[in-house]
Amino acid sequence: MKILVTGFDPFDGEKINPAIEAVKRLPDTIKNAEIIKLEIPTVFNKCAEIVEKKIAEEKPDYVLNIGQAGGRAAITPERVAININDGRIPDNDGYQPLGEAIRENGDVAYFTQLPIRAEVKAVRDAGLPAEISNTAGTYVCNHIFYQVQYMRVKKFPNIKAGFIHIPFLPEQIVNRPNMPSMSLTDIVRGLTVAITAIVERDGEGDIIAVEGKTH
C-alpha cells in the first residue's frame, strides 16, 4: 500500500508551517504502508497541479493532505470539501479569489473516503485532542482537498483521499496571546496514529462512533 501525504509551505508571513514540518518527520512506513511525502505550495491551482502529477507518477492507494488551522486546539480530520475559493488573504503568489468556483463542472461538495471517526479515536487513544471538523474553510486547504476529490472522480477512481488540519506550533503563538498550539512531536505522533487507523480500516469502512458536532 502507498499513501501520499502532502504538507503546505509557510504562508501569511509565517517562517514555518507545521504541516510540512510534520509530514517530513513521518515514518517512511506505517503498518507496512509506504509513506510518500510531498511539499506543496500554498498557491491556488498550482498545488493541485503538483499533486496530480505525483498521483500519476506514484499511483498511491490513499492521498492525505495536511494543513495548518491556526486557532484550533485539536487534530481535526475533515469531513467535506466545498466547491469555492474565497481567500481571506492572498496566496503565496499574490492571488486572492473571492467567491469563485474551484471547478465549474464539479459537484457542490465531496465527502472524504477516509475513516475519520477511526482517525479521531486513534488520536484520542494516543492521549491527544482530536475531533471531526465539518468545515475545511475556503482557502488553499479546502482547495486541495476539493481538487483531489475532483481528480478522484474524473481521473483516479481507485484512490481514497482526505484532509487533516493541525494546530499552530508553540513558536507561532509567541505574539498571539491565548492561542492554542501543539508541539511538533505531538503533531507527528497524532498524524502517525491517524494514518495507522487509515491502514487498519482499509477495506473495512469507518467505525461506528458518536463524533459529530452541532456546528
Residues labelled as active-site residues: 78, 141, 165
Residues near 101 by beta carbon (within 8 Å), at least 6 away in sequence: 83, 84, 85
- Record the cell numbers describing residue 144, joined without a space: 486541495
Using CA atoms of 133, 19, 62, 58 in order, give the dihedral in degrees to the nearest 10: 160
Identify which of 88, 64, 99, 89 has the alpha carbon closest to the alpha carbon of residue 78: 64
Beta strand segments in the chain, E: 2-8, 29-30, 33-40, 62-68, 76-77, 80-82, 85-86, 98-100, 109-111, 160-166
The one-letter amino acid at 131: E
How far from chain centre, in Å, is Cα 43? 15
